[in-house]
Amino acid sequence: MTTNQRPGAVQIPEPLILQDLTLSLCSSGITKTLFKKFDLEIQPGEITTIMGPSGCGKSSLLSFISGTLAKDFNAVGRVCLGQRDITSSPPEQRHIGMLFQEDLLFPHLSVGENLGFGIPAAVRQKNQRKMLIEEALEEAGLSGYADQDPATLSGGQRARVAVMRTLLSRPSALLLDEPFSKLDSALRERFRTFIFEHARAHNLPTLLVTHDPEDARSAEGLILNMPFK
């Protein structure tokens, strides 16, 4: 608490570390192990890609890291951000941003309110929150869209809002669960660049899950194939 941590200050980037991870699914008494004793370290600004067929546990891995794993999974191992062990922290205290295939913009909130939901409550002043929203919209090329209904936006626009919402929540790491797979190829490439640029600019350790080799290549980082040996 001694550091002068102004609201809105960028946190010191730290690596995302996974240690000794074992994940199994228990349903109706049968336990199926998805992977065992998995280790991984992603440095700030680095994008690691995991590839694999559906049902191999990629998404579950992301859920485990973010702390939103469904109750019928059984997980052992540690998740750390630098020195900080967040394995047993509730999701809202992990500061791990997550993006899905669907944008998952809250349908009952406006575009601006969606972005505002991401800004930490520590940013108290209304003006400041408003400014952050405006800046984010501008960065996404959507200036003046604050009061719009998200349902009226195009797929690409919504995807960019979702990214900005995640970044506004000041994550310490970023998890991408096939965020491009719903976009057509032209849009896909532009959006990929948009996300990767922002992840690097914010110096975030980033983990991408995909089954598209093109995505993996353009991430320009470590590529792992599931199921792990």
Partner 1 sequence: MAEALRPVVFLLSSRQNMARLSIITDCLSLKYVPAFTLLVFLGPLAAGLIGTILPAFGYFPALGSKDFSLLSWEHLIEHPALPEALYLTLLSGFIATALSLGLAIAFTAAWQGSPSFNRVRKLLAPILAIPHSALAIGFAFLLAPSGWLARLFSPGLTGWDTPPDIAIIHDPFAVSLILGLVIKETPYLLLMIIAASDQGQARQRLVLAQTLGYSPVAAWIKAVLPLIYRQIRLPIYAVLAFSLSVVDVALILGPTTPPTLPVLILRWFNDPDLSYRALASTAAAFQLVIVILSILAWYLLEQLVAQILCGWLSNGQRSFAEQTIRFFSRSFFQLLGSIFCGSLLVIVLWSFTRRWRYPDALPSEWSIQSWHSNLDTLLLSGCTTLITGIISALIAITLSVACLENEKRRGKTAGSGALWLLYLPLMVPQVSFLFGTQVIAIKLGIDGSWLALIWSHLLFVLPYVFLSLADPYRYQDERFVNIAHCLGASPWRAFWKIRLPLLLRPLLFALAIGFAVSVAQYLPTLFAGGGRFMTLTTEAVNLSASGNRRIISVYALLQGLFPLLVFSAAIGFSNFIFRHRRALSQP
Note the residues at the interface with partner 1 (CB under 8 A).
1, 63, 66-68, 70-72, 89-98, 100, 102, 104, 106-108, 110, 117-118, 120-121, 149-152, 165-166, 169, 171
Per the CB < 8 A criterion, the answer to whether 177 and 209 are in contact is: yes
165 vs 228 by CB, closer to partner 1: 165
Q: What are the φ and ψ backbone dihedral angles of 142, each rounded to 5 degrees?
A: -130, 35
Q: Report the nearest approach of partner 1 to the CB of residue 99 (Å).
A: 9
Write down the least CB distance from residue 8 to partner 1, Å: 14
Nearest distance from C-beta of residue 123 to partner 1, angstroms? 11
Between residues 4 and 93, which has the closer beta carbon with respect to partner 1? 93
**Structure tokens that stand for 110 in this block:** 């406006």
Please, where are the H alpha helices in the chain? 58-66, 111-118, 126-139, 155-168, 185-201, 213-219
**Neighbouring residues of 138: CB distance < 8 A, sequence distance ≥ 6:** none
Type of residue at 218:
S
In the complex with partner 1, which residue's Cβ is closer, 46 or 177? 177
Least Cβ distance, residue 122 to partner 1 (angstroms): 10
Q: Which is nearer to partner 1, 29 or 90 (CB)?
A: 90
What minimum distance in Å lies between the beta carbon of 130 and partner 1? 18
Q: Which is nearer to partner 1, 75 or 216 (CB)?
A: 75
Q: Using CA atoms, how far apart are residues 176 and 22, in angstroms rounded to an integer?
A: 20
Burial class (CB in 10 A: 0-12, 13-18, 19+), 167: buried
Q: How far is the CB of 193 from partner 1 (least distance, A)?
A: 23
Name which of 100 and 135 has its Cβ closer to partner 1.
100
6: left (phi over 0), alpha (psi -120 to 50) or beta: beta
Exposure string of 77-88, with b = 16+ CB inside 10 Å and e = fewer, is bebbbeeeebbe
